[in-house]
Structures are given as structure tokens and as C-alpha cells.
Structure 1
Amino acid sequence: MKKQFSVRPIVQAFFFIFTFAVTFSKWLISSNIVVPVLSKISLHAICPFGGVVSIYTFLTTGAYVQKIHDSSMILMLIFLFVALLFGSIFCGYICPLGTLEEWLGKLGKRLFPKQFNKMIPKKIDTVLRYGRYLVLIIVVYFTAVTTKLLFQDWDPFYAFFNFFTGEVAITAFIILGLTMVLSLIIERPWCKYLCPYGAVLGIFNTFRIFQLKRNSATCIDCKKCDKVCPMNIEVSQKEVIRNHQCISCHQCTSEQNCPVSDTVEIKLIGGKNHEA
């Protein structure tokens, strides 16, 4: 089956450039250069995870955590609703850090074609993937206790898009550096093992309304869906993919890489697969 055109790379590039433009325009203000619209936007204002870490403080005091905006809460609610429908679309299409990891991963595949994404034993990898839930608990707890955005000092996303401002903690730079280096040998290492927002959205994969389904009747067991999955999910072994690590990138679908029509598709919950 011929691979269809995908808008995903365009969407990824757009949000990556937009995020960088927002932070760069804020920095330009120090040189008395004002970019219309962009100069008024804060990086914290366009980050939905800010809404997640502010939930406790908002419910108990009616206020937000330091630096968090109304827009963070609105975006949080929007993407939680989108996750309920389609899963972790934010991770697969929008997150600029995930896009950066993916781009570096493409370079890594060329540099280390035999070793790329195969260096960590499966049993260890499986355990490590729950690390992001531990990070989520720690971040939410300490943010609630201190009412400060402590994660900023550890956040590689914040470090990458603010590296030129002088506002980034050394710890965030170290984690960013490790993430970028590891991305050359492990696909999306931050997403798989440490991202707290990915942990939140990943929960919705277990009960999302539009599910990723594999039709076992038409599947030819070529395992191409497994090979193209950036999160190493064994799509070929399941009829409904409910894995908490799925980023809804749709690379495994029949529209993209599955060679058989109507075999790996997005379907409404309870919907039946096509008959062979």
C-alpha cells in the first residue's frame, strides 16, 4: 500500500518554530525590539503542564502557582479533552521537545544503525518507563507544597527554549544535554522515561474514545508497525493498543506504514474491524 501524505511533520515544525519564536521575541524586548503579538506571550502561558502542577493550589487557594497563567489551565483542559478522544496527540504532534528528540533520533539512526534503540535490555526498559510517573508525583507534590514552579530548574524543555536568556538553572542544562545525547541512541528518551506531562496524557490511552486497533484477520504479521513505533510498542501483538506509552503519532497505521489496507486504524471505541 502506498504511504499517504502526512501533515504530522508540518505540524511538528510549526509548533517548534512557534515556541522558539515566542521565547526569542521576549528576549528581544531587552533590546527594545517588540514583535507584535509574540512579545506578549510567555513560554509558561503556552505550556499545558503548568495547569497540571497548579491544580492543587488553584483548588485550595483560588490562585495559580508562581508564573502560571490562565491560559495554562485552559490549555490543560483542552488537551485533556483531546487525550480523552484521541490519546497523547500532544506528545506525537505538538510537543517541541519531543520533536527535537525525534529529529536527533533520525540522525542517531544514521550514525548507529545497528545499535540505535536496542541498547537497553527489555526488562530494564519496561521498569524505566514507569519513572515518569514517579517524576510526576514528585513535581506535583513539591509544587503544591511550595507554590513555586520548581520543575523549571530541571525542565529540559524550558532550558532549550530559554538557553539564550541567562534564566536557566545549570541542572536544567545538564538534563537537556543528557536528553539530546541519549536521543542519538535511544528514541525519545525523555518521553519514555521521565516526562511528567507524558505520564498524565498516557493514562488516557487506556480508555480513549477513538482507539488504535489492529485487524488480526488481515494482518500479515510483517511487524512493520512494531519497527516504526518510536515508543517500541509491539503493535503486532495486540488488537487494541492501550499502551500508556503510545504518543498517537500514527506511524503504525495503514495510512502510513502498515502495508495492508484497513489493518491498523483509528476507530471509535467499540467499533468493529473490517472483515477479511
Structure 2
Amino acid sequence: MIKVKNLYHSYSNDDNYAVDDVSFEIGKGEVFGFLGPSGAGKSTTQNILTGLLPLQKGEVEVAGYDVKHIKNKMFNKIGMSFEQSNVYNKMSGLENLEFYRKLFDVETRNPMDLIKLVGLDGKENIKAGKYSKGMKHRLTFARSMINYPEMWFLDEPTTGLDPAIAATIKDIIRQENERGVTIFLTTHNMYIADELCNRVAFIVDGKIRLIDSPKELKVKYGEKLVEVEYFKNGELAKDSFSTVVHEEKQKLIEVIREHEIRTMHTKEATLEEIFIKVTGRGLV
């Protein structure tokens, strides 16, 4: 669904690149996470893919269309949920969706169904300018689905949402992906990426440092440990044991044999820990 080869972009029209020789491909039905701190080049890349920024250098194909020669038909196939909501404040939530659906010449979803899906029912007739930040974000998210997009761009889809609403949004993303929608997810939230993505790319200073699945990254970069809580002399003790070092494995066996085990689970590195290990950078 997406092919990017040797992509560059400079805001100053010189060799100071915000996106520097970026290449990747995304297959149909994949959830691809584009992960990095603020200023890493995530939004710049996404804006080029969606036609909001001109292609300066490189080759980019989205949903079968060359973005250097964008055709209006491409926008029938893509949806875009922005981190910064850009709804019409003087229109109600429902009016926003009714207006937006008229911009497409393909089948669109029922606006009221989308209002209910994101939990804004009962507030559909309120002017969007009176919505909270989180409500505007949900309206923007709903709007991005209205044309049944085949390629769905999501920029920080759970930012500013309370945990219950964020869980609902993640469920919707999973459901759409099960329907066959390909998803390009830009975020600095490693937890949502770990939950949703088939593969992730780490981008820092405009360059992609690594592309792989969360599972493979944890296997490759995570320590193979078992964390055990057990009772020792009447008190609760907690230790971690390597599952690859022979002496540590023997100690684990002794603890299991000689003590009452309260909890035991494997410990794996988080995506954030792996990101820091690979890039030497944090996510802020």
C-alpha cells in the first residue's frame, strides 16, 4: 500500500534535512508504526505521504498513486486523523461529518453511526467549538473513517484521551484492521505501538534506525529473565534469574524446589527501553 524510496525533505531548501534518505514499504493489511520523539521527522514523512507537503526528492507511492503527481482519486482511498484537531468550530459535530462526507465521490459511512462509535452521541448537535480537546480529537478520528479508507493515517490517535476512551479507540483500530484496512501509525507512545503494530520503524533526526516487529525486537534486544516472588524464612523475596546462564538456571531450579512461589513470569524489555538502547535517545 505504501512504497517509499530515498525520501528527503528540507524546510530550508538546503542540506539540512528533516527527513534524510528514508526508505520503507508497507504491505496491504499491515499496521505499521512510525516511532520517534518530537522533531524526529514523523509528521513530515506523513504529510508528504498524504499530499500536505510536496515531494522534493525521492519516490513515494501511496495506495497505487505516485504522490509526485497526486490525483484526487487517491483521497477517496485514504483517511487521516491529525494529532491537532482541525474541525469547524461553528458547526456541530454532526454537521462537521455531514459536510466532510460531501467531499468524496465514493460511498461514505453514516455520520451518526460514527458519532456513536466514538462516544459522542448526545453531543452531536453541540457546536464543535464548545467541545473539549478530547471530544474534538474523537471527532477528528471519526471523520477520518467516513470514506471507508483503504489506507488510514493515524497521528497520535489516543493523545489527550482518558484510559476508557483510549481503549475504545484502540478497539476501533483493531476492528478496522481486521476489515483489511492498512494503517500508518505515527506516535511517540511505545505502548500503543506495542499493542497494535505488526512492524515498527524507529526514526531519529530524520533517519530510520531500525525496522522490525515488536516481538522480534524484544527477542533480539531484551534480556532473557524470569522474575520470581517467593517466601523465604517467612518473608517475601524477589529475584530475577537468567534463562541462558547455566548457574542462574540452577539457582532458579533450587528456588522452585525449596520455596513456596508466589508469582513467576518472564521479563522482557519494553519498546521504549529498546528504542533508547538502539538510538541512544529518549522519546521527548
TM-score, normalising length: structure 2: 0.23
Q: Which has the larger radius of gyration?
A: 2
Give the structure with the higher percent helix.
1
TM-score, normalising length: structure 1: 0.24
